[in-house]
Structure 1
Amino acid sequence: MDKQLDTLLRQLTSIEKIQQQTHEFVQDLPDDTIDSSQSDSILLNNRHFFRNKDIYVSKHNRYAPYPRHTHDFLELNYMYSGSCVEHIDGTRVELHTGDVVLLNIGSSHSLEALGDDDILINILFRNKSIHLDLLDKLYDSDSVLFNFLMNTTTRNQTEPLFIYFRKRGNSDVTHIIDTILSEYYFSRKFSNQIISSYLPILLITLVRDYQSEIMNKSKQRLNDPVMLTVLKDIETDYATVSLQSVAKKLNYNRYYLSNLIKKKTGKTFTELLNQQKLLQAQLLITSTKLPISQIIRQVGFSNKNYFYNKYQQKYGHLPTATRNQR
C-alpha cells in the first residue's frame, strides 16, 4: 500500500468536516453540473468532470447519505477500505474492501453514509474511453463486461444496468487502481496518458480475477460479431468509412446491413457515424488549436452547416463555445 496515498485518502475534506458534525449531505459540485429538473433524482452532466480529461477520479465524502442521482457517463465505484451500502436502480448492494461496481450510463443510485474507515473511490469515464479493440479482446470470453460495454457503446440498453464485481483471493486490481490513484492525485509528466492506458487493463483484470454478477431489468444483449465489425470500422475509419464499404467487407447486401444495424443498435449507420465524428471533433476542439474549418474536414464532414447543426444538437452549443470553455 502506498502510505502517501493512504494518508491523503483518509484526511478529512472540507465537506467531510461539515458532514461529520451535521450528518447532513453537503453538495460539493458546481451548480452548472447539476440538473434538478427530474423529480425523483439529480442528473449529473459531464460539464464539470471532463473539461480537460477523459477520466475523473474522486473520493466519496463520508458521514452523510448521498441522494439519488444519475449521470450521462460511466462510473466505477471501488471500495478502497471498509464497506458501504449503495441502492442502484432499486437493488441494495453492499460493497466490502476490494469490491467494485461498474454503473452504466443512466443508472440511478444513492449511498448510505460512510464511516471513518469507509473509503469509496469514484472513477468516472466517458464511453469513448472504451475502445472497441478492448471489446474485441473480450468477445471470445463471452464476458458480462463485453455485453455491458457493447450495450453502452451502442446505446442499445433499454434499461439501466450495472455489474457487481466481488473480490475473491489475490488480484492485481488493487495494485492497478492504486497506480491510477497515485498518478491522479500526485500528477507527473504523462500521468493522464498512463491513467488512460490503465483503464482497459483494469477492466480486463476485473473480468479475469473477480466474480461478476450482472444486474439488469432487461435480458437484452448485443454480442454480435457483425455489429462489432461495423462499430470498429466506424471508430477507426470514421472520416472515410461508408455503409457501402462495410457491406462489401462483410459480403452483405447494403440494404440488409442497414436494416440490421438499425434493429441491433436502434440507430442508423449515419447516426452512429455522425456520433463518432462529433466525438472526434469535440476532442480536437478541446485539445488542439486547429481551426474549426480544418477539424470539420479532418473528421469527414463535407458540409459545414450540417456539422454545426449536428454539433449544436449534441452538445447544446457551437464549437467556438466549446473552445472558449476550455
Structure 2
Amino acid sequence: MDEKLLSKLSVITEEEQRILDGNGGVEKQLYTSGEEFTVDSARMLKDGQLIAVRPHTRFIRFPMHRHNYVEVVYVCRGSVTNIIGENRITVRQGELLFLNQYTRHELLPAGMDDIIINFIILPEFFDVALEMIGGNNMLANFVINTLRQDGQKGEYLYFRVSGILQIQNLMENLITSLVTGTAGDGVVNRNRINQTTMGLLFMHLLDSVQSAESLNPDQYENMIVMSTLDYIDRNYPTASLGELAQNLKLPVHTLSRMIKRSAGGNFTELLQRKRLNRAVSLLVETDEPINDIIDMVGYENHSYFHRVFKARYGMTPHAFRKKNQEMKRIRIDGGNVKKM
C-alpha cells in the first residue's frame, strides 16, 4: 500500500490519545446513543452516504458490540484479533473480514503499528455488486442476510487473500477514494465508481472461496428474498407481488410478510429501489428523453416518479443528468481522463 496513505491512516486520533494518556477507555457516546452497544450508522455516516471508512481504535480492548450496518474490516498493516462467539479470528495484513449488522464481536487491543480500516456500509450500497455477481453464491447469500431483521442472527465471512494482487489493488483504490473524496458535484458519480469497485472485489473474492471461512445462519428465508430480488431484477418494469406469489406458489399475504421480515422493506420498496437505480444508469449513460426513461423503468405516473426521485437524490432527474454531464466534461481534459 502507498506509504503516504499508510501514514495518513496511522495518525493517532483524539480518542486514541486520550486512551494513551490514561483518560478513559472507548467512548461509547461516539458510537451510539442507546443503552445497548450497537454502533449507529447515523453516527458514522453523513447524510446521503452509503459507505465510509474510519481507522479502528487501537491501544485498548474494544468491548462486545454489534452494528446496524455492514462492517468490513481490512488490515493494511499488522493484525487484529476478533472474538465472535466461540471463534477467535486474527485478521492479518491484506485480509478481509465481513460482518453483518447482527454479528456481535469484540476486538483485542491493537498496537501502534497495526493499521486497521473499518468500512461502514449500508446494505443498499451492494446493489451494483449483486448485479455483477448474480445469485446463489456465498457473497450474495451474505448480502441478502444483511437485510434480515432478526437480531439473533449473525454472520461473518473471513477471506485470507493477502497474496492476491488484484484484491489488494482494489482495496487500496477503494480506501483512497473514500479517504480523499470530498463533498461536491462528483459525489453521485464517485459513489457509482465505488460500488463498481466493490463489485469487482466480489468477483475476485468468489474466485478465492478456498481462502474463505464463514459462519452462516439458516438460509431458508434468504432463498425467498434472493428469488424476490432476482424476479425484480429481471422484471422490474412490470413486476408485481401477485405475479411473484403465483410463481413461488405462496399466498400473497404470506410472501409479503416474509419479504418485509427478512428484507428490511416491503416488495414495493425493493421494486422502487431497483427502478430508481436503473433510472440513474439510464440518465447517466444514455441520452434518452427523461419521460421515456420513466416509462422504461415502469412508472406510469410521471409526477410520482419525480417526487420519489427528488426525495432520494435531492434533485430533479433533469438536474441530476445535467450535473453528471458536467462532471464528465470536467474529467476529460484534452482527451486525457483525469483520476477521480
Deviations 1:198-247 (A, max 9, x none): 1222223222235111114x3435664x7534224446877863223435
> Helix, strand or coil for the counterpart of 1:22?
coil
Q: TM-score, normalised by structure 2?
A: 0.68
> Does 2:171 correspond to 1:172?
no
Alignment partner, residue 207 of structure 2:
208
Structure 1 residue 26 displacement after superposition:
3.6
Contact residue 127 and residue 153 of structure 1 kept, 8 A? yes
> Helix, strand or coil for the counterpart of 1:202?
helix
**Structure 2: stretches of 5+ with no match in the other structure:** 278-300, 315-340
> Which 4+ residue blocks in structure 1 deviate beyond 3 angstroms?
153-158, 188-193, 218-224, 226-229, 232-241, 245-248, 257-271, 277-283
In 2, Cα distance between equivalents of 1:182 and 1:51: 20
Structure 1 residue 123 displacement after superposition:
0.7
Contact residue 171 and residue 209 of structure 1 kept, 8 A? no
Alignment partner, residue 16 of structure 1:
16
Structure 1 residue 296 displacement after superposition:
8.9
Alignment partner, residue 290 of structure 2:
none
Alignment partner, residue 92 of structure 1:
88
In 2, Cα distance between equivalents of 1:83 and 1:144: 25
1:166-315 alignment runs, 5 A limit: 166-167=160-161, 169-187=163-181, 189=186, 190-209=189-208, 211-216=211-216, 218-221=217-220, 224=223, 227-234=225-232, 241-246=239-244, 250=247, 256=250, 258=252, 261=255, 265=259, 267=261, 272-276=266-270, 297-298=304-305
Structure 1 residue 176 displacement after superposition:
0.9
In 1, Cα distance between equivalents of 2:29 and 2:275: 27
In 1, Cα distance between equivalents of 2:29 and 2:98: 21
Match 2:38 to one of 39, 43, 48: 43
Between stretches 95-104 and 183-192, larger displacement belongs to 183-192
Match 2:156 to one of 153, 159, 162: 162
In 1, Cα distance between equivalents of 2:119 and 2:264: 31
Contact residue 277 and residue 300 of structure 1 kept, 8 A? no
> Helix, strand or coil for the counterpart of 1:63?
coil
Structure 1 residue 9 displacement after superposition:
1.2
Alignment partner, residue 152 of structure 1:
146
In 2, Cα distance between equivalents of 1:108 and 1:235: 32
Between stretches 205-214 and 20-29, larger displacement belongs to 20-29
Cα pair distance change 1:201/1:29, threshold 3 Å: farther
Structure 1 residue 270 displacement after superposition:
12
> Helix, strand or coil for the counterpart of 1:196?
helix
Q: TM-score, normalised by structure 1?
A: 0.71
Cα pair distance change 1:151/1:132, threshold 3 Å: farther
Alpha-carbon RMSD across the aligned residues, in angstroms, is 3.9
> Helix, strand or coil for the counterpart of 1:131?
helix
Contact residue 24 and residue 65 of structure 1 kept, 8 A? no
Contact residue 184 and residue 192 of structure 1 kept, 8 A? no
Q: Which amino acid in structure 1 is aligned with residue 208 of structure 2?
A: D
Contact residue 53 and residue 120 of structure 2 kept, 8 A? yes
Count of aligned pairs = 282
**Structure 1: stretches of 5+ with no match in the other structure:** 284-293, 302-318
Deviations 1:248-272 (A, max 9, x none): 7x4x65xx36377369657499962
Between stretches 259-268 and 177-186, larger displacement belongs to 259-268
Alignment partner, residue 107 of structure 1:
103
Alignment partner, residue 25 of structure 2:
25
Q: Which amino acid in structure 1 is aligned with residue 206 of structure 2?
A: V
Between stretches 168-177 and 260-269, larger displacement belongs to 260-269
Structure 1 residue 165 displacement after superposition:
1.2
In 2, Cα distance between equivalents of 1:13 and 1:295: 49
Match 2:76 to one of 52, 77, 80: 80
In 2, Cα distance between equivalents of 1:161 and 1:67: 18
Deviations 1:37-69 (A, max 9, x none): 23xxx0122212252310011111211121221
In 1, Cα distance between equivalents of 2:261 and 2:28: 36
Alignment partner, residue 119 of structure 2:
123
In 2, Cα distance between equivalents of 1:269 and 1:193: 23
Structure 1 residue 79 displacement after superposition:
1.1
Contact residue 158 and residue 213 of structure 2 kept, 8 A? yes
> Does 2:1 correspond to 1:6?
no
Match 1:52 to one of 35, 41, 48: 48
In 2, Cα distance between equivalents of 1:123 and 1:105: 12
Cα pair distance change 1:220/1:98, threshold 3 Å: same
Q: Which amino acid in structure 2 is aligned with residue 105 of structure 1?
A: Q
Contact residue 240 and residue 300 of structure 1 kept, 8 A? no
